[in-house]
DNA sequence: CAATACCTGTGAAACAATTCACAACATGAC
DNA sequence: GTCATGTTGTGAATTGTTTCACAGGTATTG
């Protein structure tokens, strides 16, 4: 029920693809892009597995989930697989996301994500500091918080990224949910209360670092 | 085998506490701090569960893992539980971490983590840009990459945080592992190759955002 | 045209994580 | 003291996820 990820709904979701499989599909696509850039045409499940630190059987199961088939002799067609994962993950229409909190972390994410996915873009940033608003940050227009509801509706934004300090995170989450957002990525070390049906992915850097430090200590040799 | 977390070793680990439980214990501690600051003395499993978005049974199981007992009438003693989780997560001695890559993301993490845990500190940063090195960034000394091995050994650093661009991540991971680090938190969208026994926690923001967008779309109502 | 080698797709088994359900117990009320 | 209440700790059941193992293919070789 956490992990700087794992993610979850408020309540029992119905029988859809599990978050773990969705995460791995996203990973596979990234790896496939790499392979494509190296000029590869086909890939075997065991190759993808090696790159993803998984097993061949798991790769095959995951691809089964999106109904993609390979050939026993050639493996999977990379181009087709990329498209198939794309259809599954991205859906038919482009999706828009908003980022709230244009501090160091927010800027890092804007920079990093810029132009990375054609079907998923961060189209708006918000901040409460007037020095940051009403201009573009890393090519992304930054609005004052007051405009959030309006912009979210106008731009058809369905996913929000929260990079504000802990004290403001719940308030921001409320604003986003009330404006109609249905997925959140929360970097604040706060457990957000959200309406049922909103998917929340928490990333708490302290937690992740503690975990890494704990397991680092378990192998002192 | 991923999730912007989940984390894993290279190979089969022996019978220790699972990463999920470790992550939740870290979360519980954070929540307990909040309760303490509100003046609470005791807490019931179902209260902690509500705050952590879990079930009471799970909280009790997790606390069982560290052998902490509560009283049927008062619940768990918060002070004692915080200390008990501390002993478990932090171990006897202070642990040190290093951050490599003092860009926006690195700075955000340094700021965010500063002074947050007495037993776990980021004691060194590294960057290849000479304009950033040989001075303090957010109170943390920043060294050139060339000094990495020396500083890691001198400062007894066992955990590394990688916030460099993807192209350099593997190189940095090699340096860190060779210097003796046994736990990594990797923010670069690259699957690191590491020696067996090194624990790696990957956080890929693109993956997390894709996941959130996917599940946001699954509840269009 | 066998025979070989290696792969995919998938039912079934194994394993891991979570939840159920209840005995054992403290406390407070009377 | 005894009853009623509400909680913990945990074996057992359940649910979810991963791996095994093999039938069914397809190319390649001689």
What percentage of chain B has pLDDT greater than the value 70? 92
In a domain, B14, yes or no: no
| Cα distance between residue B98 and residue B117, in whole Å | 15
For an interface test with A, the pick among B215, B220, B221 (most A C-beta atoms closer than 10 Å) comes out as B215
Name the 3-class secondary structure at A216: helix
In a domain, B168, yes or no: yes
Please tell me the predicted confidence (pLDDT) of residue A3: 41
Which CA-bearing residue is nearest the C1' of D7? B72
Which CA-bearing residue is nearest the C1' of C24? B72
The answer to whether A70 CB sits below 7 Å from nucleic acid chain C is yes
Domain that holds residue B186: 95-208
In a domain, A84, yes or no: yes
Q: What's the mean pLDDT in B127-149?
A: 97
- Chain A residues whose CB is inside 8 A of the B215 CB are 7, 9, 19, 22, 182-183, 199
Asked if A63 and A124 touch (Cβ cutoff 8 Å), the reply is no
Shared domain check, B126 and B61: no
Shared domain check, A151 and A49: no
What average pLDDT is seen over chain B?
Answer: 93
Please tell me the predicted confidence (pLDDT) of residue A16: 77
Closest residue of B to A34, CA-based?
Answer: B190
Please tell me the predicted confidence (pLDDT) of residue B11: 43
Helix H or strand E segment including B24? helix B19-37
Shared domain check, B99 and B204: yes
In a domain, B215, yes or no: no
Q: Which of A88, A106, A135 is the last residue of a domain?
A: A88
In a domain, A125, yes or no: yes
Residue of B189, B169, B183 whose CA lies nearest to B128 = B169
Shared domain check, B176 and B119: yes
Residues in chain A: 221
Asked if B154 and B177 touch (Cβ cutoff 8 Å), the reply is no
| Res. B9 pLDDT band, cuts 50 70 90 | low
Shared domain check, A133 and A67: no
| Res. B2 pLDDT band, cuts 50 70 90 | very low
In a domain, B106, yes or no: yes
The answer to whether A84 CB sits below 7 Å from nucleic acid chain C is no
Q: What is the DSSP letter of B138?
A: T
Q: Which of A53, A88, A123 is the last residue of a domain?
A: A88
| Res. B16 pLDDT band, cuts 50 70 90 | confident
Q: Does A120 touch chain B (CB under 8 A)?
A: yes
Q: Which of B67, B89, B111 is the last residue of a domain?
A: B89
Report the CATH number at residue A178.
3.40.50.720
Please tell me the predicted confidence (pLDDT) of residue A219: 77
| Cα distance between residue B5 and residue A136, in whole Å | 31
What is the distance in angstroms between the CA of the first residue and the CA of the last residue of chain A? 31
| Res. B107 pLDDT band, cuts 50 70 90 | very high
Shared domain check, B105 and B80: no
Scanning every strand, the nucleotide with its C1' closest to A2's CA turns out to be C17
Q: How far is B12 from chain A (nearest CA, A)?
A: 12
User: Which of chain D's bases lie under 7 Å from a protein CB?
Assistant: 6-11, 16-21, 24-28
- Chain B residues whose CB is inside 8 A of the A103 CB are 108
CB contact under 8 Å between B183 and A5, yes or no, is no
- Chain A residues whose CB is inside 8 A of the B11 CB are none
Please tell me the predicted confidence (pLDDT) of residue B149: 98
Q: Judge whether residue B159 has pLDDT over 80.
A: yes
Shared domain check, A194 and A151: yes
Q: Among B20, B52, B120, whose Cβ lies nearest the Cβ of A210? A: B120
Q: Judge whether residue B23 has pLDDT over 50.
A: yes
Residues lining strand D, beta carbon within 7 angstroms: A 18-21, 54-55, 57-58, 61, 71-74; B 1, 44-46, 56-57, 60-61, 63-64, 68-73, 75-76
Shared domain check, A116 and A58: no
For an interface test with B, the pick among A4, A32, A167, A197 (most B C-beta atoms closer than 10 Å) comes out as A4
Q: Judge whether residue B109 has pLDDT over 90.
A: yes
* Total structural domains within chain B: 2
Question: Distance, angstroms, CA A203 to C1' C22?
Answer: 37
Shared domain check, B149 and B71: no
In a domain, B13, yes or no: no
pLDDT in tens, B177-219: 999 999 999 999 999 999 999 999 999 999 999 999 999 998 7
Other beta carbons less than 10 A from residue A178's beta carbon: 12
- Pairwise pLDDT comparison (A15 vs B67), residue with the higher score: B67
Q: What's the mean pLDDT in B56-85?
A: 97
In a domain, A219, yes or no: no
Per-residue pLDDT of chain A (221 residues; tens, 9 = 90+): 334 446 665 443 445 799 999 999 999 999 999 999 999 999 999 999 999 999 999 999 999 999 999 999 999 999 999 999 999 999 999 999 999 999 999 999 999 999 899 999 999 999 999 999 999 999 999 999 999 999 999 999 999 999 999 999 999 999 999 999 999 999 999 999 999 899 999 999 999 999 999 999 987 66
Report the CATH number at residue A84.
1.10.10.10
């Amino acid at each position: 029920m956490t992990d700087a990820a794992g993610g979850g709904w408020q309540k029992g979701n119905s029988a859809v693809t599990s978050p773990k499989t969705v995460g791995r599909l996203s990973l596979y696509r990234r790896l496939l892009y790499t392979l494509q850039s190296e000029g590869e045409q086909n890939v075997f499940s065991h190759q993808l597995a090696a790159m993803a630190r998984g097993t061949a059987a798991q790769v095959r199961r995951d691809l089964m989930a999106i109904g993609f088939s390979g050939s026993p002799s050639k493996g999977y067609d990379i181009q087709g697989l990329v498209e198939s994962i794309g259809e599954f993950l991205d859906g038919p229409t482009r999706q828009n996301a908003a980022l709230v909190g244009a501090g160091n972390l927010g800027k890092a994410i804007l920079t990093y994500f810029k132009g990375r996915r054609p079907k998923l873009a961060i189209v708006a940033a918000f901040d409460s500091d007037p020095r940051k608003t009403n201009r573009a940050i890393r090519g992304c227009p930054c609005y004052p918080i007051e405009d959030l509801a309006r912009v979210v509706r106008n731009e058809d934004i369905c996913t929000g990224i929260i990079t504000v300090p802990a004290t403001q995170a719940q308030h921001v989450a409320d604003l986003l949910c009330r404006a109609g957002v249905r997925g959140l990525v929360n970097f604040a070390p706060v457990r957000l209360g959200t309406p049922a049906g909103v998917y929340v992915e928490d990333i708490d850097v302290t937690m992740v670092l503690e975990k890494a430090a704990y397991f680092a200590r378990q192998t002192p040799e």
